[in-house]
């Protein structure tokens, strides 16, 4: 009986602490969004755009079997608003006709490019450049398949500029994303900004033309709808708050701008984990802390990247499984950081939060469900109290999702049609009934897969963007 009560106390305390942490993050986010909106009123991006002194940027986009969207997306990347930048597409051993399509469309020729292997990668079969003057800032690398991290490292070896933007080639990038991402870096005065990230939104069901979004819609797909809420909560209420608290451990792999020199000093992306984006951020931050250099990883709430999310349970399950393994891989590789004051706010707040509330949360929740089932079978459940607790958790979750919709409505207002908002409300109301439980289940599978030594990415399905 004593064990039962200890367990009761632990579960209750954990629930309250996690709810409290969400509230704090929500509040911090609100203050940042207000400040961000104030600053945005007089942000002169054209100054950066036209300046010859603005930092230079290499965009690195690994591509694996992206034949359906690659041509349009490269065109959109080449049209980004910035003064000096290059686009590096890394064909990571695609088995489809991606490379042929790109060579044909952009009039590419294989050149005698000398690649300095600063970071070791799988063999590069060839480097291509266009002889058409319209595409002079495009470089295409064709290499043996080695995974996303390996492809990014190959891109890093070829890149020639001060900063690099790592993106997913299937994502749609806002035309002024580079200007917005570089701004915190050049605005910083007392701290070095080593990386910046922007909000990622969902492109499913949106109309895309030539790699640009022309009409934003709520996905028609059932599973993608839930992910809209997830992304809004994570980006508008989570990451911007962590950025303010200087505890950010992750810049999304779909869109992240990094200081190239520091990334290379750290050895580039790691092939040891499928969460290479998170791992690089943690390693770069450790590097800075160990050299006692004041630094920041900044997060911009503006929706700068629109990505395609899984639409089937199978793909979604694989993605979540991979995310869990990526988180675990990074956390275990950098266990030295855990509650280590040497690593400042990352060690004392950021890492422990990820450990307890990102990695352990599904495990604790799952054990709670199992415990409840045992208690229910053995007749030890007080049903009145259970209903009260259930109502509390459910209403709290719905209210929290509603607040994220409010944040979106007050700031970027991307889903402005009334029907879209009603759909979001409805999704928030039904989400806690089963979608959340599914994510817990996939996270458990991810944990098992990690301990079983699974390393792969799994196959992601791609679809052609809806054109108008």
| Crossing angle for the helix pair 418-451 and 383-411, to the nearest 10 degrees | 120
- Using alpha carbons only, give the angle 178, 82, 260 rounded to the nearest 5 degrees: 55
Q: At which residue do the structure tokens 């079983």 appear? A: 452
Under rule CB under 8 A, residue 391 binds other proteins = yes
Nearest approach in angstroms of CB 208 to other proteins is 23
Which of these segments, 84-92, 97-105, 208-216, 385-393, binds other proteins (CB under 8 A)? Answer: 385-393
Q: By three-state DSSP, how is residue 172 classified?
A: strand
CB of 201 to other proteins, least distance (A): 18
- Give the Cα separation of 165 and 441 in Å (integer): 33
Torsion, Cα of 171, 35, 260, 71 (10° steps):
20
- Residue 413 as a binder of other proteins (CB under 8 A): the answer is yes
313 φ/ψ angles, rounded to the nearest 5 degrees: -60, -40
Query: How near is the Cβ of 67 to other proteins at its closest, in Å?
Result: 25
Q: How far apart are CA 158 and CA 388, in angstroms?
A: 59
Number of residues that bind other proteins (CB under 8 A): 69
Positive/negative CA dihedral, 397, 399, 402, 407: negative
Residue 98 and residue 67 in contact, taking contact as beta carbons nearer than 8 Å: yes
Query: Shortest gap between Cβ of 102 and other proteins (angstroms)?
Result: 16
Compute the least distance from the CB of residue 233 to other proteins, in Å: 14
Site string for other proteins, 251-290 (x = CB under 8 A): ----------x-----------------------------
Mask 205-244, x = binds other proteins (CB under 8 A)? ----------------------------------------
Q: Which of residues 109-148 bind other proteins (CB under 8 A)?
A: 109, 111-114, 116, 129, 131
Q: Confirm if 61 and 169 have CB atoms less than 8 A apart.
A: yes
Pairwise CA distance, residues 210 & 465, whole Å? 9
Which positions touch other proteins (CB under 8 A)?
A: 1, 5, 8-9, 12, 16, 19-20, 23, 26-27, 30, 33-34, 37-39, 41-42, 44, 46-48, 50-55, 109, 111-114, 116, 129, 131, 183, 185-190, 261, 380, 382, 384-385, 388-389, 391-392, 395-396, 398-399, 402-403, 405-406, 409-411, 413, 416, 418, 421, 425
């Amino acid at each position: 009986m004593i064990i039962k009560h200890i367990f009761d106390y632990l579960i209750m305390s954990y629930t309250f602490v996690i709810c409290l942490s969400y509230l704090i993050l929500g509040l911090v986010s609100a203050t940042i969004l207000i400040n961000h909106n104030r600053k945005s009123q007089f942000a002169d991006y054209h100054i950066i755009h036209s300046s010859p002194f603005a930092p230079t940027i290499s965009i690195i986009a690994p591509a694996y079997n992206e034949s359906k969207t690659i041509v349009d997306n490269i065109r959109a990347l080449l049209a980004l608003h910035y003064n000096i930048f290059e686009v590096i597409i890394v064909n990571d051993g695609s088995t489809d006709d991606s490379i042929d399509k790109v060579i044909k469309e952009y009039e590419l020729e294989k050149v005698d490019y000398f690649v300095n292997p600063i970071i070791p990668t799988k063999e590069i079969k060839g480097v291509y450049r266009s002889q058409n003057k319209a595409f002079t800032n495009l470089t295409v690398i064709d290499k043996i398949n080695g995974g996303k991290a390996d492809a990014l490292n190959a891109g890093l070896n070829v890149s020639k500029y001060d900063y690099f933007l790592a993106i997913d080639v299937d994502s749609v990038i806002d035309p002024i994303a580079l200007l917005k991402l570089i701004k915190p870096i050049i605005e910083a005065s007392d701290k070095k900004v080593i990386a910046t990230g922007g909000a990622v939104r969902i492109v499913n069901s949106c109309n895309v033309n030539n790699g640009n979004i022309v009409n934003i819609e709520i996905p028609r797909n059932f599973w993608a709808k839930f992910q809209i809420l997830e992304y809004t909560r994570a980006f508008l209420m989570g990451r911007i708050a962590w950025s303010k608290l200087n505890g950010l451990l992750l810049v999304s792999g779909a869109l992240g701008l990094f200081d190239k020199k520091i990334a290379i000093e750290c050895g580039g992306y790691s092939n040891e984990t499928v969460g290479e984006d998170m791992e690089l951020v943690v390693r770069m931050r450790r590097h800075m802390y160990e050299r006692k250099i004041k630094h920041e990883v900044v997060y911009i709430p503006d929706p700068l990247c629109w990505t395609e999310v899984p639409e089937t349970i199978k793909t979604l399950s694989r993605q979540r499984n991979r995310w869990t393994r990526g988180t675990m891989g990074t956390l275990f590789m950098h266990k030295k950081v855990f509650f280590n004051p040497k690593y400042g706010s990352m060690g004392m707040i950021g890492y422990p939060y990820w450990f307890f509330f990102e990695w352990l949360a599904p495990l604790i929740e799952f054990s709670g469900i199992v415990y409840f089932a045992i208690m229910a079978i053995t007749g030890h459940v007080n049903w009145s109290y259970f209903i009260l607790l259930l109502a509390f958790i459910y209403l709290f979750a719905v209210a929290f999702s509603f607040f994220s919709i409010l944040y979106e409505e007050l700031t970027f207002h991307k889903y402005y049609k009334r029907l879209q908002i009603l759909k979001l409300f409805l999704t928030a109301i039904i989400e806690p009934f089963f979608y959340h439980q599914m994510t817990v289940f996939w996270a458990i599978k991810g944990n098992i897969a990690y301990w079983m030594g699974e390393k792969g990415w799994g196959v992601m399905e791609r679809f052609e963007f809806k054109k108008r």
